[in-house]
Structure 1
Amino acid sequence: MKTALLLAGLALAGVSSHAFAADNCTVKIKANDAMQYDIKTATVSASCPAITIELTHTGKMPVAAMGHNVVVSQTVLYDAIARDGLKAGAAAGYVPKNDPRVIAATALIGGGQSTKTTFAGSRLKAGGDYAFYCSFPGHATLMRGKLIVVK
């Protein structure tokens, strides 16, 4: 009986650590009509071959009034990228096109919609200082968080 419980416990431990490793390559974020993300920090592994950002807009407002996206960059660059995103305009999703400072960006979505983007994990370095934020006009100040990259 004890052996069976020990084996079951070890099997569950193996499954949960594998699930953690898989989850460490995907970041799920919800945004609402109150200009808020549901998380302030996210952790990913630098060893992930690919990292996926999944965004769900849980609000009801349309994209033109309360659009949200997720942009990933080095923290020191977020303010400049958000400013340049304003110049890029709505047609570009408020993200400068082909900007090498942008590590990743989802599409801009409205209430009830979801989107995702995937990028090479090699674009991030363990211990680096990264941020995620919404580039819709006026949102980056409130809607931002820290992306923690571990080995």
Structure 2
Amino acid sequence: MKLPLLLTTALLALVVTGCSPKEEAASPAGPAAAAGPRTIELTANDSMKYNMNSISLAVGEEVRLSLINIGSMPKQAMAHNIVVLKAGSDSAAFATTAAAAIATDYIPASLAGEVIAHTKMLGPKQTDSIIVKFTEPGEYPFLCSFPAHYQVGMKGVITVR
């Protein structure tokens, strides 16, 4: 008689404590720190186009630019990247020089000072991201530095206000 009473009491105690609401621990960094930078997803395809050619940001905004190569052609023939240049840079001259920079994945060492950030050169179905913070207003060109991609329109502008 005592065993069923003991089991019933233990089961009741488990049910009562298991159904009580959990206390959530407060995050020491707060919700703003957990959010991180805003992500902007760009896709690149075998038609040598990004899905967008214009991005607007606020001064001081940190952003994650994520590139996904949605194409299917092999990397040797149709690789893609994102290269973000300093405001006022000559993106056409950069692209022309980049075409000969095979050894450095089409990022010319002679113009490295013009580059704010760049992703890796991506083959089909690959993804890479860069995090950039723009502290000055201006128009920052971005482009794909794989040979001929800039010339057929794989470029855009990040406007920071």
TM exceeding 0.5: yes
Query: Which residue in the other structure is 1:57 paired with?
Result: 69
Query: Which residue in the other structure is 2:42 paired with?
Result: 29
TM-score normalised according to structure 1 size: 0.73
Deviations 1:14-38 (A, max 9, x none): xxxx9xx977x43210011111110
Separation (CA, whole Å) in 1 of partners of 2:83 and 2:65 = 9
Pick one of 148, 151, 154 that aligns with 1:138: 148
- Give ranges in structure 1 of 5+ residues lacking alignment: 1-17
Partner of 2:80: helix, strand, or coil?
coil
1:27, 1:44 within 8 Å by CA — same for their partners in 2?
no
Separation (CA, whole Å) in 1 of partners of 2:97 and 2:78 = 19
1:31, 1:56 within 8 Å by CA — same for their partners in 2?
yes
| Larger-Rg structure | 2
Query: Which residue in the other structure is 1:94 paired with?
Result: 106
Separation (CA, whole Å) in 1 of partners of 2:141 and 2:71 = 23
Q: Which amino acid aligns with 1:33?
A: D
Shift of 1:130: 1.4
Separation (CA, whole Å) in 2 of partners of 1:55 and 1:96 = 20
Query: Which residue in the other structure is 1:42 paired with?
Result: 55
Shift of 1:58: 0.6
Pick one of 68, 73, 94 that aligns with 1:81: 94
Shift of 1:75: 5.1
Query: Which residue in the other structure is 2:160 paired with?
Result: 149
C-alpha distance 58-64 of structure 1, shift in aligned 2 (>3 A): same
Partner of 1:129: helix, strand, or coil?
strand
Partner of 2:99: helix, strand, or coil?
helix
Task: Report how many aligned residue pairs link the two structures.
Answer: 125
CA RMSD of aligned residues (A): 2.2
Q: State percent identity of aligned pairs.
A: 32
2:69, 2:80 within 8 Å by CA — same for their partners in 1?
yes
Partner of 1:55: helix, strand, or coil?
strand
Shift of 1:112: 0.7
